[in-house]
Chain A
Amino acid sequence: MLDSSSNAAAGTLLGTSRRRRRLGVRAAHAAVPYALILPVVAVIGVILGYPLYWLVKLSTERYGLFELIRHAGVSVGLANYHSVLHDSIFWRTLLRTVVFTTANVVLTMVLGMAIALLLVRVSAVVRVLLSSGLVLVWSMPVVVAVQVWYWMTNFENGVVNYVLTELHVGNFFHHDWYVTTFSQLSLVTLLIVWGALPFVVITLYAGLAQVPGDLVEAAEVDGARSWRIFLDITLPILRPIVLILTSLSIIWDFGVFTQPYLLIGQSKITSGNYLMSIYLFEEGYFKSDFGRGAAISILMLLMVAALSVVYVRKMVRMGEAVQ
């Protein structure tokens, strides 16, 4: 409260009747923050809360197109969960998603850190050039990036095949990248890492500015090797940022949909290359099996919630500290 101290001081000087009125005013003031957050809470409550209630309800019902038109599902208890948890595709998709997420996050963080350290070392001109380039990449809409990626990697006249062949990496003439699951998901990984790097690099670079230069210099004078300086000085200072970026990447990559769905292309999506979001989309929405889809959604939301706990707690604590 802006004026609580002056309120208290004034309160002792005033007569009882005025004090009572004053209390009324204070109660009105106490209501101010609630009035301010009310619209947001109301909108979120209705638009998110109500569907979430429906999500739980749907997950215990048989609910297909017929039920959608009839506006009523048939209660089936936990049958949907039973069906999903006994679906070998679910477990294989989960495993694939975990491996995929790990690969994406590790690549993003390692490359991100490397480029951030590189930014410190290059000369000013190169630094401006590289960071502007990163911002440009950052601004690319995901759907646009997918189209460009597909054009670069198509087997007939994709520039990637040409460059790889010219660089003597191998003969990639008319090489089709969209045949095996591994190759498909590798391309998706490259696309995601490429898109995620700018945010990670720029954030880490901002953090590197915090590393005290004299400390590094002193270590250098003492003859410390650069990787020791990195491990003992730089990394501990960057720890909070690295932690936040890593948990954000885990959450984003685990639930990623647009990049794999569009780059692999709907016609080539099979149960053999599902990621979690795509599994959910295909089994629940595309096949109009909303009840089973709801069960998958709940399982997925629970997994992401578990992954988010660390991040949300950290952000909340930081938010309170800044206050």
Chain B
Amino acid sequence: MTARRRGRRLRQTGWNIVGLVVFVVMVFPVFWMISTAFKTDDQIVGEKPTWLPLHPTLAHFRDAIDRPFFWDDVKNSLIVVSVTVAISIVLAFLAAVALARYRFGGRKLFVVLVIGIQMLPQAGLIIPLYVVLARYHQVNALSGLIVTYMTFVLPFCVWTLRGFLLGIPKDLEEAAMVDGSTRLGVFVKILLPLMGPGLVATSVFAFITTWNEYIFARVLLNDQQKQTVTVWLSYFLGSSRHTDWGALMAASTLTAIPVIVFFLLVQRRIAFGLTAGAVRG
């Protein structure tokens, strides 16, 4: 009996060790980015890697934000992201209400559209978007990028918000209707407050995807001053690639921080929203 118990404990320890190894391998790149950003140049290029910078320096961060166009491009990213998300979330919410609360002809077609668009490979659309936007002088303009992003953010928001809406029981609204509230009244007084967390989570997730987007921004904005911060980061090395690794990692850390913070805040809700249907089977 004790031998068997000891065997089980041994196996448990074995699994734990494997788990820790997987943890280290998975997290290492993130750790290495942050740790490099704080090292001195000697420690970075040294023959033997320095695992932890015991005397961290902020020099690389200062260097990174002083590079040309950093602040311009951060500002551009913020403009593009906030306008895209603000418009999308309002329009998508309306459509999500239609999907979650009404049956109507053509509903299925709309669902196929919403899901199908999210599957389109973005590279497949750069050519027509570039040509059409060029015709209307929207290349190299943030407005052109914003409308492009909306086509992808809208379906995502519609589908996710619909999931959150389905989680709110209809009885609440029906009860209010019986009590004499108008449809609009129900919407404002009941649906909107209950949807608060869902709206926040969906907006944040839309914020992240838009902030991270690369190929459309790369193609539709040519001017370095007009680019988004992701494209700025991709150009950081320049063509030579003989580089200032410390500054590159500091810039990477800066680009990733808002995303990481936001993501950790809403991950649980969205992860559920994305796959709730699948998990329920």
Write the residues of chain A forming the contact surface with B, with a CB cutoff of 8 angstroms: 1-3, 30, 32-34, 36-37, 39-41, 43-44, 47-48, 50-52, 54-55, 58, 63, 68, 71, 115, 118-119, 121-123, 126-127, 129-130, 133-152, 156-157, 159, 162, 194, 197-199, 202-203, 206-207, 210, 237, 240-241, 244, 251, 254-255, 257-258, 262, 265, 267, 276-278, 280-281, 284-285, 290, 293-294, 297, 300-301, 304-305, 308, 311-312, 315-316, 318-323
Contact = CB atoms under 8 A, between A and B. Distances in A.
B224 to A, nearest CB: 16
Which residue among A34, A40, A134, A258 has the maximum number of chain B CB atoms within 10 Å of its CB? A40
A258 B101 contact: no
Contacts of A136: 27, 30, 260, 264
B94 A47 contact: no
A71 B134 CA distance: 9
A159 B264 contact: no
7 contacts: A32-B98, A118-B19, A130-B23, A133-B26, A148-B29, A159-B32, A257-B214
B57 interface: no
Contact of B241 (A1, A121, A265): A265
Interface residues of B, number: 105
B78 interface: no
Interface in B41-82: 44-49
Given A52-B128, A58-B127, A141-B211, A47 B103 contact: no
Interface centre among B29, B162, B173 (most CB of A within 10 A): B29
Nearest to B154: A40
Interface of B: 12, 15-16, 18-20, 22-23, 26-27, 29-30, 32-33, 36, 44-49, 91-92, 94-95, 97-99, 101-104, 107-108, 110-113, 115-117, 119-132, 134-135, 147-148, 150-151, 154-155, 158, 162, 166, 170, 173-174, 177, 183, 208, 211-212, 214-215, 219, 230, 233-234, 236-237, 239, 241, 245, 248-249, 251-252, 255-256, 259-260, 263-264, 267, 271-272, 274-275, 277-281
Given A1-B103, A136-B260, A140-B30, A312 B112 contact: yes
Contact of B123 (A37, A150, A280): A280
Nearest to B130: A285
B271 A36 contact: no
Given A148-B249, A241-B275, A267-B239, A139 B260 contact: yes
A36 B274 CA distance: 23
A51 B125 contact: yes
A281 B128 contact: no
B275 A203 contact: yes
B113 to A, nearest CB: 7
A241 B130 CA distance: 37
Contacts of A139: 208, 256, 259-260, 263-264, 267
Contacts of A133: 23, 26-27
Contacts of A203: 271, 274-275, 278-279
B234 A262 contact: yes
A322 B116 contact: no
Contacts of A194: 26, 29
Contacts of B166: 322-323
Nearest to A302: B124
Q: Give the 7 A-B residue pairs with the shortest CB-CB distance, closest first.
A: A255-B121, A139-B263, A277-B123, A36-B98, A51-B128, A33-B102, A55-B128
Contacts of A276: 123
Contacts of B277: 315, 318-319, 321-322
Which of B115, B127, B272, B279 is packed against the most chain A CB atoms within 10 Å? B127
A40 B280 contact: no
A100 to B, nearest CB: 14
A118 B151 contact: no
Nearest to B260: A139
Interface centre among B150, B211, B214, by most A CB within 10 Å? B214
A285 B219 contact: yes
Contacts of B113: 41, 44
A320 B233 CA distance: 42
A255 B122 CA distance: 8
Given A39-B94, A127-B19, A210 B279 contact: yes
Contacts of A50: 132
Given A44-B154, A148-B252, A1 B211 contact: no
B128 A151 contact: no
Nearest to B25: A194
Given A37-B110, A44-B113, A162-B48, A121 B15 contact: yes
B40 to A, nearest CB: 14
Given A54-B131, A148-B29, A122 B94 contact: no
Given A43-B154, A316-B112, A122 B16 contact: yes
